[in-house]
Amino acid sequence: MNITYNILYTKKAIQSGVVSLVTDEEKKHKIRLIEEKLKEKECKLTPQRRATLNVLIENQSKHLSTEEIYDLVKDKFPDIGLATIYRTLQLFDDFDIIKKLNFNDGCYRYELSEDQRHQHHHLLCLKCGNVYEFDDDLLDELEHKIHKNSAFAVTDHMVKFFGYCKECQNTK
């Protein structure tokens, strides 16, 4: 099955602020925080890393693959190699600046981590391949139950929802 994953902004995601057009001010602020985070571990935000970060911030919710990120960074740094992008994404992942996503379409995709907040979940349509973001988290109760029944202290969870989006249900 060859699915191309496009992005659709659900109304809900826009309202909840998951999808927002970042202003220059917000972008600068975000970059400054990340720069400090790296600095604490004596890591530098080099111009190439900064350009990669910019692409991720400007394309939040698009769930870009490594190649797509590479193509966009190349606009600014024509000489940059794919290996550098790989290493940069690995570094950002190690610092929990980004989240690595697997939508079962043969590549990893990335999005910025939501600082302080629990990362939103993804709804994957099996027909059109669109990925929707879903921000409501109804799993707290389940985590409580697990703790109660198994004495296991859950600190995080990863969930993917598969099914059919509204449009695809109507055309079935």
CA distances from 98 to 64, 102, 151 (A): 11, 13, 30
Residue with Cβ nearer Zn ion (97 or 133): 133
Q: Are β-strands 121-125 and 160-163 bridged in parallel, bridged antiparallel, or unpaired?
A: parallel
Residue with Cβ nearer Zn ion (154 or 168): 168
Angle at 1 between CA 125 and CA 73, to 5 degrees: 75
Cβ at position 90, least distance to Zn ion in Å: 19
Please report, as ranges, the residues that interact with Zn ion according to CB under 5 A: 111, 125, 127-128, 133, 137, 139, 165, 168
Cβ at position 83, least distance to Zn ion in Å: 26
Cβ at position 155, least distance to Zn ion in Å: 12
Helix (H) or strand (E) holding 100: strand 98-102
Cβ at position 4, least distance to Zn ion in Å: 12
Residue with Cβ nearer Zn ion (80 or 128): 128
Integer Cα distance of 91 and 94 in angstroms: 5
Helix (H) or strand (E) holding 112: strand 108-112
Helix (H) or strand (E) holding 125: strand 121-125
Residue with Cβ nearer Zn ion (73 or 165): 165
